[in-house]
Amino acid sequence: MKFKFINLQTVHRILGVQSHVVTSEKVISTVGGMMAIFCSFYITTLLTDTQGSLAILPSMGASTVLLFAVPHGQLSTPWAFFVGNLLSAAVGVTCALFIDNILLAAPVAVASSILIMHLSRSLHPPGGATALAAVIGGPGIAELEYGYVICPTLINCVVLFSIAICFNNFFQWRRYPQYFMRYRGIGYHPDTRQIKMRHIHEAIARSELVVDASDKQIKHIIDLADALLHEELIAGFELEMGAFYTNNKPGKLWSVRQVIDERQHENKQQHLLIYRVVEGNGKGQSDCCTYQEFAEWAAMKMAPARIKKLTP
């Protein structure tokens, strides 16, 4: 019997270990979250009793994680944050008022909040905790009835939202709402430059998946992955002046080029090569292209023995 061992990278993928985050992001998220929850807790304690503040704060704590640790996520958008929390609060109060059995009211409140957030396209995970708090928050929350939607839920949302805008936008690489985020162009990416935001938006819709990333983020990642692919192609390509290269294409597309001159530049996108087509498609023609374009075209370097066979 053969045993197939799973490597560490596969284990990480199965477990869903998150990508590494730079230290600055860790520190900024921590400081921002601390400021936000301090203000939220202080204001909630002033407006409700201690038990009420303890009931609502867990959901606000979860929202804080999203707004300051994942400010560019779809689950962190203002629409998801406000509508998700407020509708869930209303759902929770309704369940608390009309379902006497708390063992039934609690799960119905959370389940209904999930449904209403999906229907309103405002999925915000802490909304489930907001709905649950309305049911199990104790007498202080129960006495508020639908006032719970305004105080403390809406007030807490306004506090966190205000701090999120001021704090996140203080740093150039963070923007909230994520609509204002501008991603720096990757550069040369011929395989993906034809992909538009509408294509990505439609692809997400057709996939029927809940994706916690904006169209811009996905486009940026696609372009970056393509750029990395082309960087690998260049890194593995060794240029030799006078050498012969082939694209190994089938039939009429096959050709062999000889590099006859170059104009060097530190940037591979501006490093130009002059070549002559010695066999196949375009035989006898001369042309020029960038180092990167030639590296992507060349499938292999011709061995001397093969070159002799091609030479009359």
DSSP 81-139: HHHHHHHHHHHHHHHHHH---HHHHHHHHHHHHHHHHHHTT---THHHHHHHHHHHS-H
Residue entry with tokens 């985020």:
181
pLDDT band at 151 (very low <50, low <70, confident <90, very high): confident
Q: Summarize the confidence of residues 58-62 as an average pLDDT.
A: 91
Least confident among 20-34, 87-101, 200-214: 200-214
Residue entry with tokens 């006078």:
242
Q: Summarize the confidence of residues 245-256 as an average pLDDT.
A: 89
- Report the 10 Å Cβ neighbour count for 271: 18
- pTM (2 decimals)? 0.73
pLDDT of residue 185: 61
What span, in angstroms and rounded, lies between the C-alpha atoms of 301 and 298?
A: 7
pLDDT of residue 164: 95
Q: Tell me the pLDDT tens digit for each residue of 157-213.
A: 999 999 999 999 998 888 899 888 876 665 555 566 667 777 777 777 777 777 777
pLDDT of residue 51: 63
Q: Summarize the confidence of residues 249-276 as an average pLDDT.
A: 85
Q: Which residue has the higher pLDDT, 211 or 217?
A: 217
Q: Which residue has the higher pLDDT, 284 or 198?
A: 284
Domain assignments of the chain as residue spans, ordered by start: 21-180, 183-236, 244-310
Nearest-10 Cα torsion for 209, 215, 217, 223: 100
Q: Is the pLDDT of residue 307 over 60?
A: no
pLDDT of residue 132: 95
Sign of dihedral through CA atoms 6, 7, 12, 13? negative
CB of 56 within 8 A of CB of 133?
yes
Q: Is the pLDDT of residue 284 over 70?
A: yes
Q: Is the pLDDT of residue 2 over 60?
A: no
Q: Is the pLDDT of residue 96 over 60?
A: yes
Q: Region of 258 please: left (phi>0), alpha (psi -120 to 50) or beta.
A: beta
* Mean pLDDT of all residues belonging to the chain: 84
